[in-house]
Amino acid sequence: MCLLAVQYRLVPESPILVAANREEYYNRPSLSPSIQSGKPRVLCGIDQRGGGTWLGVNQNGLFVGLCNRTTPMPLFGQRSRGLLAMDLLRCTTAKKALDKALSELENNRYEGFNICIADARDGWVLHVDDQTDVVELVQGLNIIGARNVNDPLDERVQMAKRLLTLQMLDSPVKFLAVASRVFARAPTLPGRPSMVMRGQEHGTVSSTLIALGVKPRDAIYQFASGAPDQNKFEDYSPMLRDILSRGLREARNKVRAS
């Protein structure tokens, strides 16, 4: 399971604000965020076993974030969920990514997952198990774990929601500052919900903070390689600003050409 918080279209200068903890087996290797070749350019981490990603942003400002979903029985997926996330990051808009996801789900079998697809105009969460439900992102805070978005019965989701709403997070700086502390909240007593999970073989293996704004120069991408209560966030913002600037230039050139 993973935990993903998306504050959507609440702050005008940064319509997409993200905090995410990735949970995985410790022996499953992955690469830190890097710019992937091809078009559109994508900034994301890479799962070295499946070849896909769990979270990323493309040059058009499209965000995709993936969480495994709890299902009553295994679904015997035939294709990596991370590969689907990478496919969606190659789309130019959230709407096109949604259409591609629905098409892919008709033709390929996956294990259960929740996936967030969002740009500055549109945003959705897909809940995928033995059926597919499409839920529109609400303005404000959307928290996704192993069940439905903002699930009232998920104690971890509700803890994150409570901690992220103790004050008005009305700027990207405030959101990222608070979220960095919330998502680094260390485990307490056994059986109690916590942001960082630490088991013998499985737990929080990385954490990501993102701010996608109207201007590429204001974009922020920070990544902790390891549990964020024990590892510092490193700044990957120059990479994100680079691909967003590229996307903006290409969009302007297309307008001029037409």
Kindly report, residue by residue over 33-65, the tens digit of the pLDDT.
999 999 999 999 999 999 999 999 999 999 999
CATH number at residue 71: 3.60.60.10
Can you give the pLDDT at residue 242?
97
Model pLDDT for residues 134-166, shown as the tens digit of each residue: 999 999 999 999 999 999 999 999 999 999 999
Model pLDDT for residues 228-246, shown as the tens digit of each residue: 999 999 999 999 999 999 9
Total domains, the chain = 1
* φ and ψ of 37, to 5 deg: -70, 165
What type of residue is 1?
Answer: M
Model pLDDT for residues 176-220, shown as the tens digit of each residue: 999 999 999 999 877 778 899 999 999 999 999 999 999 999 999
Q: Do the beta carbons of residue 3 and residue 65 sit within 8 Å?
A: no
pTM, two decimal places: 0.96
Can you give the pLDDT at residue 11?
95
**Domain extent at residue 165:** 3-257
Can you give the pLDDT at residue 192?
79
Q: Which residues are CB-neighbours of 97 under 8 A, at least 6 positions away? A: 62, 64, 88, 89, 91, 117
CA quadruple 122, 127, 128, 132: dihedral sign: negative
